[in-house]
């Protein structure tokens, strides 16, 4: 008869591990580096396994794992930014410090901005960067990750109606920002649509 730890492992392997390829795909888009993506997914699954007893069976496992991965990515990104800032400060010479040259972690970008950097087209990425963050991440999860409204709501801890509204408004902002580019590329843009 399997003990409680074995049951937990079997349950986790059966339910969570099939979602690993989807999480890896997202992690790879976020990190742009297979090794970093593997590390992020591994850390995500380690945290998920440790918290497996807290997961409510019957709720959305994929959204729960994405939430853990998003938070893990933000934490790892912030840690790396702080480490890079510390290393950069350690490498400064006294004369550089005296001249007021400094490196601070406040100049680093958010993990959400890094995630948007993983959108394939630079034109689209630039347009996404101009959209306020609350709209940007909803558009990212819906368009790039292909998550349904309910999962986005769970990941972002936001009501579904808010997700739908932000997605609509975010897409409208994107359309406005990209219409000039579309015209430049020879696409017809109706005045009502712009």
With cut-offs at 50, 70 and 90, classify the pLDDT of residue 175: confident
Residue ending a domain, among 39, 66, 87, is: 87
Q: Is residue 95 part of a domain?
A: no
Q: What CATH number is given to the structural domain containing 134?
A: 1.10.10.10
Residues 5 and 49 in one domain: yes
pLDDT at residue number 163: 93
CA–CA separation, 46 and 40 (whole Å):
10
Q: Kindly state whether residue 113 falls inside one of the protein's structural domains.
A: no
Clarify whether residues 61 and 125 are in a common domain: no
Distance CA 112, CA 156 (A): 12
Residue 92 inside a domain? The answer is: no
168 CB contacts (<8 Å, ≥6 apart)?
none
Say if residue 73 is exposed, middle or buried (CB neighbours under 10 Å; 0-12, 13-18, 19+).
buried
Domain annotation covers residue 110: no
Whether the per-residue pLDDT at 194 is higher than 80: the answer is no
pTM, full prediction: 0.51
Structure tokens at 85: 């800032």
Residue 104 lies in a domain: no
The pLDDT score that the predictor gives to residue 85 is: 52
Residues 5 and 83 in one domain: yes
> Of 67, 87, 107, which residue constitutes the final position of a domain?
87
The reported pLDDT for the residue numbered 168 is: 93
Chain segment 13-70, per-residue pLDDT in tens: 999 999 999 999 888 888 888 999 999 999 999 999 999 988 988 888 998 999 899 8
The verdict on residue 93 lying in a domain is: no
User: What pLDDT, in 10s, does the model give residues 91-139?
Assistant: 555 444 444 433 333 344 445 455 445 544 677 778 877 888 788 888 8
Domain span at 10: 1-87
- Shared domain check, 186 and 128: yes
CATH number of the domain enclosing 50? 1.10.1740.10
pLDDT of 88 higher than 70? no
- Interatomic CA distance for residues 24 and 187, integer angstroms: 35
Query: Is residue 1 located within the same domain as residue 83?
Result: yes
Task: Report the C-alpha gap between 135 and 28 in whole angstroms.
Answer: 22
| Residue 185 included in any domain | yes
22 is a domain residue? yes
Asked if residue 154 and residue 76 are part of one domain, the reply reads: no
Six-digit token pair at 187? 């696409």
């Amino acid at each position: 008869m399997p003990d409680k730890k074995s049951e937990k492992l079997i349950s986790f392997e059966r339910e969570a591990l099939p979602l690993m390829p989807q999480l890896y795909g997202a992690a790879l888009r976020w990190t742009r580096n297979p090794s970093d993506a593997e590390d992020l997914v591994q850390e995500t699954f380690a945290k998920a396994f440790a918290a497996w007893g807290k997961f409510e069976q019957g709720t959305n496992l994929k959204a729960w794992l994405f939430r853990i991965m998003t938070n893990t990515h933000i934490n790892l990104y912030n840690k790396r930014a702080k480490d890079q800032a510390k290393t950069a400060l350690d490498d400064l010479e006294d004369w550089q410090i005296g001249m007021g040259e400094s490196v601070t972690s406040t100049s680093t970008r958010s993990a959400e901005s890094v995630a948007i950097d993983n959108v394939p087209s630079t034109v689209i990425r630039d347009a996404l960067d101009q959209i306020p963050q609350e709209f940007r991440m909803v558009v990212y999860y819906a368009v790039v990750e292909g998550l349904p409204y309910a999962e986005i709501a769970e990941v972002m801890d936001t009501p579904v109606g808010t997700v739908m509204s932000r997605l609509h408004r975010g897409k409208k902002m994107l359309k406005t920002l990209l219409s000039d580019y579309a015209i430049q590329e020879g696409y017809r843009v109706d005045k009502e649509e712009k």
